[in-house]
Amino acid sequence: MLLLLQANGLIKLKDGAGLKATPLDVVSNPKKLRFVELDAAQLPRSLDDLDASAINTNFAISAGLNPKTDAIVLEAADSPYVNLLVVREADKNKPWVAQLVKVYQSEEIRRFIDTQFKGSVLAGW
């Protein structure tokens, strides 16, 4: 979530902080944001006690929020952190993997993603 805040100019992280960044990696915080670390599932319930929260899409939707309309910022469509379909190296050429990819990248699954996540999750293919 810190990378999302940085991408939107709200904070600056130490060079190389990456995906494992913590509030200790924040080197510039011009808006004086205060960070409260909570379990991701608790974030929607914490909104009444906070000014804002960075909530994973699945937890936001489960709490009745619509990330596309309720969010202050969203990840960019070209985010390198889209949901990925991965298999073990030993399985990559097995026939079932090709079948799984074909089904996963189908129009039916695209419609499911659009419906389930209300347009706030983009298909990664």
Rounded Cα distance, 45 and 58, in Å: 14
Output the pLDDT for position 36.
93
Three-point CA angle 114, 124, 73, nearest 5°: 70
The pLDDT of residue 29 is: 98
What are the extents of the domains in the chain?
80-125
Say whether pTM exceeds 0.85: no
Instruction: Print pLDDT tens along the chain (125 aa).
Output: 899 999 999 999 999 999 999 999 999 999 999 999 999 999 999 999 999 999 988 899 999 998 888 998 888 777 777 778 899 999 999 999 999 999 999 999 999 988 888 777 877 77
DSSP track, 47-114: GGGSS-----HHHHHHTT--HHHH-S----TT-TT-------GGGTTSHHHHHHHHHHTSHHHHHHHH
User: What angle is formed at CA 103 by the lines to CA 105 and CA 57, rounded to 5 degrees?
Assistant: 55
